[in-house]
Amino acid sequence: MINKIRKLFGQEKQQKEITKPKSEIPHEAQLYLAAIANLQNQNYPNALELFNRIIASDNYGIDAEQDAGFHYNRSIAKSNLHDFDGAFRDLHKSLSLFERSETNFEIFRLNHQLGTPQEGMPFLVRAYEMGHPSAEDILRNNSNYFNR
């Protein structure tokens, strides 16, 4: 991911550049790193604010796979802030940009959390088809998917 960020912001240089001081990392990459750090530290309001800024930036729209990741990560912040409609919108936007097993699985997980697991089953099946590590166990233990 860091190589994609470097490429996106013109920082395609040798590996040793990773050790440069933070001030020399492009502003947009700093925003992304800060957003991820806030998400990992469960500071969801700050993560949401930073992902909003990234998505509103001029560099958004250059790489569909990367943009899908921004929406996926923003959905995590939104769901933890109980903005479930916003989380679903971001997850579906992420899928429309670039399909990943994690995004399909997260749609299932969020449906399950909200008490509507049947609505998420097609996404769980797709996550399984794409090789998501947890999807098969859930399908085996909680459905008749493999008994057809």
pLDDT at 25: 80
3: its two tokens: 């190589």
Identify which has the larger pLDDT, 80 or 145: 80
Task: Please state, in angstroms and rounded to a whole number, the distance separating the CA atoms of residues 116 and 113.
Answer: 8
Q: Give yes or no for residue 41 having a pLDDT over 90.
A: yes
Mean pLDDT of 62-66: 94
Could you tell me the sign of the dihedral formed by the alpha carbons of 36, 38, 42, 44, in that order?
A: negative
- State the average pLDDT over residues 71-84: 98
Whole-angstrom CA distances from 61 to 1, 19, 53, 55 are 16, 28, 13, 8
User: At residue 30, does pLDDT exceed 60?
Assistant: yes
Q: pLDDT at position 54, please?
A: 95
**Residue 7's pLDDT is what?**
53
Residue count of the chain, please give it: 148
For residues 34 and 29, what is the distance between their CA atoms, to the nearest angstrom? 8
Evaluate if residue 11 carries a pLDDT over 50.
no
Mean pLDDT for all residues in the chain: 88
Please give, one letter per residue, the 3-state secondary structure of the chain.
CHHHHHHHCCCCCCHHHHHCCHHHCCHHHHHHHHHHHHHHCCCHHHHHHHHHHHHHCCCCCCCHHHHHHHHHHHHHHHHHCCCHHHHHHHHHHHHHHCCCHHHHHHHHHHHHHCCCHHHHHHHHHHHHHCCCCCHHHHHHHHCCHHHC
Is residue 28 scored above 60 in pLDDT? yes
Query: What is the share, in percent, of the chain residues with pLDDT greater than 90?
Result: 74
